[in-house]
Chain A
Amino acid sequence: MQRIFVKGIKGGIGSTSVVANLACVLKKSDVDVIAIDLDAKSDLGLHFGLKWTSTKGWSNESNFEDALLHFRKDSDGVLFLPFGDNEVTLEDIVSTVNHCKKLDYNASSWLLFDCPAHINISHYPLKEDDIVIELVTCDAICHSLIYKRLQTLKTAESTWKHFFVVNRYNSASVLEFDLFSLWQSTLPFMAPFFINSDEVIKEATANRNVALNCAPYSVANDDFETLAGWLVSKAAL
């Protein structure tokens, strides 16, 4: 099983919608996908068409066998596990991640974790095959956060595959263009592409769907395909 951890470098960068769209793209190219919501906001379900009233998830159960009951399948065939509305500790999250490894499912399937921004990635039980995607936007705060993160990444001797991916990129903005060019040519771990800012991603959530289904002709759609294709190539390595 290929595990992918998607996390925003700070809150509000749109990691949940990236997870939802990525899961959808992968599913459409016949990769079995299981998306696990590790974020206490518990909003991944909304992207997958879960009812607003169903608030329960794995956090409401004390052991993982019971949590299995909360798995849902969305209309595209993506399996997902909502977070729920109970407060959890870091240990709970770690144990859930570990339990997911034991899921009796297709061995070639992919596990996508929607990780909360505030928990440092090094707290997760990561292996060398795991891919961590840290989403950033092109702004000064992210610039400073990336440099901070790079220092810890260097010292922590990262054993997993770590990448920064730019989300909500708008090349018309001078600052964003400057920062992106700078990062592309100087930073390690930068993915060689970006996800374009697109109104469709926001609208799709409002319409209880993912951008992929709403606007198959959008550039954002292509971006997610690029992301998925790139991940496939990285996973194979």
Chain B
Amino acid sequence: MNNLATKSSQILTSSDIENLARRFGGKSDDYIEIMNTQKNQKTINKYALLKEIDDAIKTTNNK
């Protein structure tokens, strides 16, 4: 069971941040993956269905 948990660091999705953290002894959790709100908004605006859902959720939340 343990070998699975450790193995995941070396396989495909292995992250560069983990490597970096290992180099200076920090924690990879401390690294903040920036979420690009502008980009997300662009995606939502690009597709009509996504826009509709987004608007609907916003109105319900506002209520």
Contacts and interface: CB of A to CB of B under 8 A. Distances in A.
A182 B43 contact: yes
B32 interface: no
Nearest to B41: A182
Contacts of A219: 12
A70 to B, nearest CB: 28
A182 B40 contact: yes
Interface SS, A side: helix
A62 interface: no
A128 interface: no
A222 B14 CA distance: 11
Interface SS, B side: helix
B11 A178 contact: no
Given A144-B53, A147-B53, A185 B35 contact: yes
A30 B11 contact: no
Interface in B36-56: 36, 39-40, 43-44, 46-47, 49-50, 53
Given A143-B53, A147-B57, A181 B39 contact: yes
A163 interface: no
B43 A181 contact: yes
Contact of B12 (A108, A179, A181, A222): A222
B58 to A, nearest CB: 12
Interface range on chain A (Cβ under 8 Å from partner): 20 to 34
Contacts of B53: 143-144, 147
B44 A223 contact: no
Contact of A140 (B8, B13, B40, B47): B47
Nearest to B9: A229
A147 B13 CA distance: 27
Nearest to A184: B35
Contact of B11 (A29, A108, A222): A222
B9 to A, nearest CB: 9
Contact of A178 (B1, B46, B49, B57): B46
Contacts of B36: 185
B50 A225 contact: no
Contacts of B39: 181
8 contacts: A29-B3, A143-B49, A178-B43, A225-B11, A226-B11, A226-B13, A230-B8, A232-B4
State the 7 A-B residue pairs at the shortest beta-carbon distance, nearest first.
Answer: A229-B8, A185-B35, A229-B4, A222-B12, A222-B11, A178-B43, A29-B4
Interface of A: 25-26, 29-31, 108, 140, 143-144, 147, 175, 178-179, 181-182, 185-186, 193, 219, 222-223, 225-226, 228-230, 232-233, 236
